[in-house]
């Protein structure tokens, strides 16, 4: 069954992530270096990542519109 395949070792996921050599650089950067950099620089980061399908709400420049759809200039 898939349960036996998914559980090959007795150690947990966090222990594997911290002890395996291929995960070590990523673990160090994301767990230690980035928070320390933000703390030392005094940067407060609040990020918002919308879903990929949500379009941005910036208007198109007038030259990008078809002449029929350009706003009227008086």
Query: Does 31 map to a domain?
Result: yes
Tell the residue number behind the tokens 């050599």, with chain if given: 21
Query: Does 53 map to a domain?
Result: yes
Structure confidence by residue, pLDDT tens digits, 6-63 = 666 666 777 776 777 776 777 777 777 878 887 788 766 555 555 555 555 666 555 5
**Confidence at residue 56, expressed as pLDDT on a 0 to 100 scale:** 58
Spatial separation of the C-alpha atoms in residues 9 and 17, rounded to whole Å: 13
How many domains would you assign to the chain?
1
Structural domain boundaries enclosing 7: 2-69
Query: Does 51 map to a domain?
Result: yes
pTM of the full structure: 0.31
Secondary structure in 3-state letters for the chain: CHHHHHCCCCCCHHHHHHHCCCCHHHHHHHHHHHHHHHHHHCCCCCCCCCCCCCCCCCCCCHHHCCHHHCCCCC
Query: Does 44 map to a domain?
Result: yes
């Amino acid at each position: 069954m898939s349960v036996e395949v998914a559980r090959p070792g007795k150690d947990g996921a966090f222990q594997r992530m911290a002890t395996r050599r291929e995960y070590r650089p990523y673990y160090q950067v994301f767990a230690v270096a980035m928070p320390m950099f933000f703390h030392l620089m005094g940067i407060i980061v609040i990020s918002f990542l919308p879903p990929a399908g949500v379009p941005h709400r910036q208007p198109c420049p007038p030259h990008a519109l078809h002449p029929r759809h350009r706003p009227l200039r008086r």
